[in-house]
Structure 1
Amino acid sequence: MFEALTERLGQVFRRLSGRGRLSERDVDEALREVRLALLEADVHYRVVKTFTERVRARATGAEVLEGLAPAHQVVRIVRDELTQLLGGRAEPLRVDPPWPAVFVMVGLQGSGKTTAAGKLAHLLRRQGRRVLLVACDLQRPAAVAQLEVLARQAGVDFFGVPGGMTPPDVAKAGVAHARRGGHEVVVVDTAGRQHVDEALMAEASHIVEAVQARQVLLVVDAMTGQDAVNVAQAFVARMRIDGIVLTKLDGDARGGAALSVREVTGAPILFAGTGERLDGLEPFHPDRMAGRILGMGDVLTLIERAEQAVEAERAREMVKRLREDAFGLDDFLEQLRQVRRMGPLDQVLAMIPGLGGRLPAGLKVDERELSRIEAIIQSMTPQERRQPSIIDGSRRRRIAAGSGTTVQDVNRLLKQYEEARRMLRHLARGQGPRAGWRRGSL
């Protein structure tokens, strides 16, 4: 979402770094470009004005202009102020006792509220919580059935009634069911509307009061730009909002909602939706998001995704196989699948420090390549997967025909496998990668 903004800011800072010592005029010129970049990214104009004023006040101080590497200090100031703009620090969800802790999801129809409820339930279950999803959206056709499907996919319990009860009564019955069943967390999905109206606010407020909600989470669609900010302002003005869930943050919009909503509403961003899958919801870290926007990567989130994707026991077994030189094509395929579970590859690449800001704007990694690799490996015999060295010309032709690919595709895969095996073997033995390997060969 932030590719265009990242590229524009990167150009500004590169020009600054080429000037050595800076003057106030240099800073003003750079901030003019920053201001334009933020406005083009659909950031609220009042937020842009406040942000640039804060950066200028700090960047024109004697300590910066007369110090060493002033351009680097300006970048640090921009990063710090972006972090503050986004909330300063991560705000955790309050799931401590007394239980059940009840979270009510509110928002407009089409914002991704029901899906966000399922994702939140999935995230909490992975953290070891016993979760109940309660369906109180009785307005939208099939909303109850959709939430039941999400509950099944997330591995959590579900509560819904066929009809005849008001949404607040359903919510109360769901919390009572959770209390009897020993659930620690209840996530309540509520009805939305096409726009903010009094009926929507009244129903949501009655549900919040009926269940004595621990926190009320407003779900807004980041793809709608300034409309998302306007919706958030309308909700905050009419009812209690404890946190915001930004959905579709991996979309093609300009990202202004994420940079505006915290400053404009005062409500913290708790979660960001980054994909269609149930694991596509992650806690929102202002400092990490600021690093992504400035092209500095996000290594902590990358590590967390890797830990979720890779089981510790399987990782130890893989290291053992590498040391024994028993790393075959099945292992290679498993490694690729683990990387795939970390999320879309363009997102993963953007989190690598030093690489995120250098990726071409709008880069989309072709996920079909992984499917092609999988088809080639699955067209091999078990012996060929264990001992790729036996794959001669005739075998390559047979594998290509069986996988619907070409012999060149098979050759390329075997070369990638061999280079990956060699590199991983050296890493497993603590030797590090060899100097002279071609960058990007994997």
Structure 2
Amino acid sequence: MASALSDKLSRLVKEMRGQARITEANVQDMLREVRMALLEADVALPVVRDFVARVKEKALGQEVVGSLNPGQALVGIVNRELVATMGEGVSDLNLAAQPPVVILMAGLQGSGKTTTTAKLARHLGEKRKKKVLTVSGDVYRPAAIEQLKTVTAQAGAEWFPSTPDQKPLDIARAALDHARRQYVDVLIVDTAGRLAVDEAMMREIRELHAALKPTETLFVVDAMQGQDAVNTAKAFKEALPLTGIVLTKMDGDSRGGAALSVRQVTGAPIKFAGVSEKIDGLEVFDAERHAGRILGMGDIVALVEQVQAGVDMQAAQKLAAKVKSGEGFDLNDFLMQIQQMKKMGGLSELMDKLPAQMQAKAGQVDMDKAERDIRRKEGIICSMTPLERRKPDLIKATRKRRIAAGAGVHVQEVNRLLNEFEQMQGMMKKMKGGGLMKMMKRMGSMKGMPKPPF
């Protein structure tokens, strides 16, 4: 995410931290680098000018000049101004209105609007315990209604049927009436997108807005569009009273310009970020945490949250009790550990949240190869019989050849997996006295990390 900008700025941060004395000359040099990094990341020119001017004013003020550690103070200023540019902290959805709360989704075709509708439905159902209904008013794209039906089912929400021969306004009114009668908490209305902003599209969405009187009007925009994303968001802001923005495809955005520009250009807060294609790949946008990622400081809070969401505490407690009782650690338990890793989103997704220095060290390892190895290990264990998994000592030469053939690997890879398993088994024996349970309790109590000291 925003890797090109993050690389440049994290390198600058390192240089700034080393400054023992701040002068106008080295501030100018630093700001020139910052300006170039932001422009290359496709940040809108007015935003770059404003950002650089604010940093310069504060950098040459008493806050830095009189500081015992001017380099650190300068990094703090850049961090705070990045946060201010993207909007302070978190901007929450307004769900306090009389139910059903209506959320209107707007955006161009291909921005990920339909998928985001389902992701938002899942988020509201799981995190906010709301009863959610989705409906599609996109009668122009043949597969749009069916697509929403499919992804809504994956999200575990309810879907209101509509057909391409209906008018979007009639669909929306019927869905709202149904939502009222069924005591739905939130109705999310997916609207039609176009390949470009046109008058017919804007007229239709204005009519929908007037009829539904939505509590939230969210503009969904593809972060990878960079400058175009900002221009499109501006056009929608002029046509509709937007209450928030959802940036999609943040995992594929190597430049990072849209996140820095869109808030300041439109005045609408960024409320969510799409961080993966999975149905749970939607994050509440936190400006402070995003600024930390851009500056190469990582996002440890998000990493902890991801681990907590992925770790099945019940299964971990069961394993701890099993090890403590002396039953031992078998290949079924080893398989469970591998599957837990996959649930957490894989190594590369966890890596993205680490600070730059740790990423650089871990970057020497080929992440794709490491993830392929995890999948291969899973395939090897799944090629074993239930008895072999419970009693790995039975696995001798003939069985190894059969398992290797079943998993499509060489016998050496089966041997390697069994060696790794034995090492893990040895570690579990050391935790027999309840050490594993203590470790799990500690993980369960991790609610976040302190912010950087600036």
- Same fold by TM (over 0.5)? yes
Distance 1:47 1:307, change over 3 A: same
**d(CA) in 2 for partners of 1:179 and 1:356?**
50
Residues 1:235 and 2:239 are matched in the alignment: no
SS state at 1:365 partner: helix
**d(CA) in 2 for partners of 1:349 and 1:207?**
42
Give the equivalent residue in structure 2 for 1:156.
157
Tell whether the 8 Å contact from 1:130 to 1:184 is kept in structure 2 after alignment: yes
Aligned length: 432
Task: Give CA deviations for 1:27-74 in whole Å, capped at 9, x if unaligned.
Answer: 221221111111111111111111122222222233423433322222
Give the equivalent residue in structure 2 for 1:215.
216
Give the equivalent residue in structure 2 for 1:37.
37
Tell me by how many angstroms 1:283 deviates: 0.8
1:222-261 aligned within 5 A: 222-261=223-262
1:90-239 aligned within 5 A: 90-127=90-127, 128-239=129-240
**Counterpart residue type for residue 400 of structure 1:** A
Distance 1:414 1:69, change over 3 A: farther
Task: Give CA deviations for 1:201-241 in whole Å, capped at 9, x if unaligned.
Answer: 11111111211211001000111111000000010011111
1:272-287 aligned within 5 A: 272-287=273-288
**Counterpart residue type for residue 123 of structure 1:** H
**Counterpart residue type for residue 405 of structure 2:** A
Tell me by how many angstroms 1:178 deviates: 0.8
SS state at 1:132 partner: strand
Tell whether the 8 Å contact from 1:111 to 1:221 is kept in structure 2 after alignment: yes
**d(CA) in 1 for partners of 2:426 and 2:93?**
44
Give the equivalent residue in structure 1 for 2:381.
377
Tell whether the 8 Å contact from 1:3 to 1:362 is kept in structure 2 after alignment: no
Tell me by how many angstroms 1:315 deviates: 3.0
CA RMSD of aligned residues (A): 2.4
Tell me by how many angstroms 1:14 deviates: 2.2
Task: Give CA deviations for 1:290-324 in whole Å, capped at 9, x if unaligned.
Answer: 11111212122222223332333223223323434
**d(CA) in 2 for partners of 1:85 and 1:63?**
20
Distance 1:243 1:337, change over 3 A: same
Distance 1:227 1:400, change over 3 A: same
SS state at 1:32 partner: helix
Tell whether the 8 Å contact from 1:222 to 1:255 is kept in structure 2 after alignment: yes
Identity of aligned residues (%): 45
TM-score (norm 2): 0.88
Q: Which of 330, 334, 337 is matched with 2:332 structurally?
A: 330
Give the equivalent residue in structure 1 for 2:23.
23
1:247-396 aligned within 5 A: 247-324=248-325, 326-353=328-355, 355-356=358-359, 360=363, 365-366=368-369, 367-396=371-400
Tell whether the 8 Å contact from 1:134 to 1:160 is kept in structure 2 after alignment: yes
Tell me by how many angstroms 1:154 deviates: 1.5
Tell me by how many angstroms 1:419 deviates: 4.3
SS state at 1:355 partner: helix
**d(CA) in 2 for partners of 1:257 and 1:357?**
25
Tell whether the 8 Å contact from 1:350 to 1:357 is kept in structure 2 after alignment: no
Could you tell me which runs of 5 or more consecutive residues in structure 2 were left unpaired when the two chains were aligned.
441-454
**d(CA) in 2 for partners of 1:358 and 1:36?**
27
Residue range with higher mean Cα deviation, 298-307 or 77-86: 298-307
Tell me by how many angstroms 1:399 deviates: 2.3
**Counterpart residue type for residue 266 of structure 1:** G
Task: Give CA deviations for 1:180-221 in whole Å, capped at 9, x if unaligned.
Answer: 111111110000111111111111111112112110010001
Give the equivalent residue in structure 2 for 1:58.
58
**Counterpart residue type for residue 353 of structure 2:** M
**Counterpart residue type for residue 365 of structure 1:** D
